[in-house]
Chain A
Amino acid sequence: MFWTLLQQHFIHVSLLAAGVAALVAGSLSPLVIARGQAFSVHGIAELGLTGAAGGLLAGLDAATGALIGSVTVGALLGVLGLRERDRDAATGVVLAAGLGLGVLFLSRVNGYATTGFGLLFGSITSVSESQLRLLVIVAGIVMVLLVLVWRPLWFASVDSAAAEARGVPVRVLAVLFATMLGAAVAETIQVTGVLLILTLVVTPAAAATRLTARPAAVVALSIAAALLAAEGGVLASLEWNAPASFFVSMISFVVYVIARLVGAQRRGWRGPAHLSG
């Protein structure tokens, strides 16, 4: 069963889509951790649902709709939540209103239940070639942008006051990052669905930071963890009859648990005594 399925074209498309999404998610994940924006990610994803349902109603496909929704919401949150203190509240407000619209849109779509389930929990095996093309193009843009702005963005994320004094345009970068995050979330929704988004956008870097604090290594490990979970999840779903997003989230979680255990041992030399003070 596994090997026959693996010959199928749609599986190749799925594996490619999962890989592209994992690359983007894994790359942005360390920044999400450094900026403490896990909640924003979830907010953006839930409004990706609104975008996807709206897209279907308007005659577009779900991937395009999710992309438009997430990027718009990401940019909006970036602008609204410029001050860190406002961010949680702004995210909550936008999220609640937008998700309400999503329910309305979804209820008007044919095959309400199936579509809804696919969006909420992912339907990687139904990604079409044209959707894959869109995912690749968007991922390419995000990755090029990320390489260009990496240093100042990283600086602004770990020490925004020092970065601002150094002349880093922290406000512009915050909006840019939120927009890039929107794109990454839209890509990841294809793999994990809206509700499991954090498994590829937060867990990989959370695992990586348990093992090292070297920024380049954190990024590399984070991408590796995301790829392992996404591709492993798709492959596992071919062999065992369960949704890919279930396997993705379980692999991601197991990687995190292992990283914690290994990390706890390695951190032993600087134990809790150093946490004070």
Chain B
Amino acid sequence: MSATVELDDVAVGYPGRVLWSGLDLVIEPGEFVAVLGGNGTGKTTMLKALLGLIPPRAGSIKVLGEAPSRGDRRVGYVPQHAAFNPDAPIRGVDLVRLGADGHRFGPRRVSTSIRDRVDASLAAVGAQQYATAPVGLLSGGEQQRLRIASAIVDDPALILADEPLLSLDLASQRQVADVLDARRRAVGAAVVVVTHDVNPVLRHVNRVVYLAAGRWAAGTPEEVLTSERLSTLYGLDVDVVRVRDNVVIVGAPDEATGPHHHGGS
């Protein structure tokens, strides 16, 4: 099977500013990749490039063997979490349904196949119980599961998630990470998660891309998340400390995975 994502000497940025460059990366089916780094290091931009929303400044990107194109049904995208307005006139099941046919123009035709896919997707994330409640009244973790359900309704071979654990409590972070992990195990999808904190997904991650100040380091968490490697990356003395199952990075100027507060928003 060919690689899910191939980045060859890729640079991204905006006119007058390169965020990172020279990135070579191959993501195979079934891999769980965490993209780490501080604010403004170009984590989200990497997802945008994979989605075909922005072109790379240099190099070539291939997603499932082709140049990325907007609206590729084989790619599922979970956008950065923003809480729904409590009055938002939409239920979970509607949100998932939009993932299935929301891009189509013209009147909606009732189709049992779409309904089945929506149900399967809701079941995959364990959201059936609250699927008909107004989205705006659900907890952050429940909303996030529904966003994932909406993203995976077409059984994408690549799932891209932008800070899916942001502002969730610890238990919800774990559950949402497990949902993403279950998905790659069930259908062999590759998962790319952008996160400022690697710990909630550390158990599942088999590869890390660490972005810092225009440079990058990639490899297994054991290879990349070391004092030596990150000190080289940042050009500063950075200490990586392992406390129980957690990785704590001390001394990184952007505090990518540094000490911070957990808890609900």
Contact = CB atoms under 8 A, between A and B. Distances in A.
Interface of A: 30, 33-34, 36, 147-152, 154-155, 158-159, 161-168, 205-206, 208-210, 212-215, 218, 267, 270, 274-277
- Between A30, A161, A162, the greatest number of chain B beta carbons within 10 A of the residue's beta carbon is seen for A162
Contacts of B78: 162
Contacts of B172: 277
A218 B140 CA distance: 24
B107 interface: yes
Label chain B's interface by main secondary structure: loop
Interface in B57-87: 70-72, 75, 77-80, 84-87
Contact of A151 (B89, B104, B133): B104
Given A152-B104, A270-B133, A165 B77 contact: yes
B101 interface: yes
A162 B71 contact: no
Given A167-B70, A168-B103, 12 more contacts: A148-B105, A150-B108, A154-B102, A161-B77, A162-B98, A162-B151, A209-B87, A215-B90, A215-B94, A218-B89, A267-B137, A275-B137
A209 to B, nearest CB: 5
B89 A152 contact: no
B241 interface: no
A167 B70 CA distance: 5
Contacts of B85: 36
B106 interface: yes
Nearest to B154: A166
Contacts of B87: 33, 206, 209-210
Interface residues of B, number: 48
Contacts of A270: 133, 137
Nearest to B79: A161
- Between A155, A168, A205, A206, the greatest number of chain B beta carbons within 10 A of the residue's beta carbon is seen for A155
B99 interface: yes
Contact of A213 (B75, B89, B107, B167): B89
A184 to B, nearest CB: 18
Contact of B51 (A147, A151, A165, A218): A165
A214 to B, nearest CB: 6
Given A34-B88, A151-B101, A209-B89, A164 B95 contact: no
